[in-house]
Amino acid sequence: MKIIVGLGNPGKKYLRAFHNIGFMTLEAVAQKLNIKIKKLRCKSLIAESNLNGNKFVLACPQTYMNLSGEAVVLLLEKFKSDLDELLVVYDDADIGLGSIRLRPWGSAGTHNGMKNIIQSLGSEQFKRLRIGIGPPPEHVPLHEYVLQDIPKDLRQTMFEAIMSASDSIIDWINGAPFDAIMQNYNKTN
């Protein structure tokens, strides 16, 4: 069973923050597939479903970003999924605003949620979908920038990135080869 994990922080305070791009992307997938992410399991809000016979779980960990690995380990155990069936969706300040980068594996970069997942799994060998939020403005620390609401003038760019990212996830759920998805969706702004 494919497990798609969107990273973010629970609570209304963070609803529109850059750091919640993973949650926003999974919500877009859920809306497109007419399902709801609402069941609490494995320290996550989840939706279990299938698309054309392809079973999958959408999961938004409720552990707060820096402990996301706890939820990911529980999800893989509960649904008896392997690392090659895992896709983690998250914001990335190391790539341009609105850029999308799918990768079959890799390091955490500057992302503490990903660092925790890699540490918890003991492996970097899982798929990821990074959505670029760009670097913080000068004199704004990264940890403050990622928790800010997305400014109104950037929301359309982020919305378009989220829509494209959600389409790539649906293609993966539907069985498209990951290499082909990377070719179709990897986009740099």
Place of tokens 């279990």: 48
Q: Rounded to an integer, what distance in angstroms lies between the CA atom of residue 147 and that of residue 184?
A: 30
| Contacts of 36 by beta carbon, 8 Å cutoff, 6+ apart | 30, 47
The bridge status of strand 100-103 relative to strand 86-92 is unpaired
19, 111, 139, 143: which is the annotated catalytic residue? 19
Known catalytic membership, residue 19: yes
| Beta carbons of 130 and 103 less than 8 angstroms apart | yes
Q: Rounded to an integer, what distance in angstroms lies between the CA atom of residue 89 and that of residue 66?
A: 14
> Catalytic site residues?
19
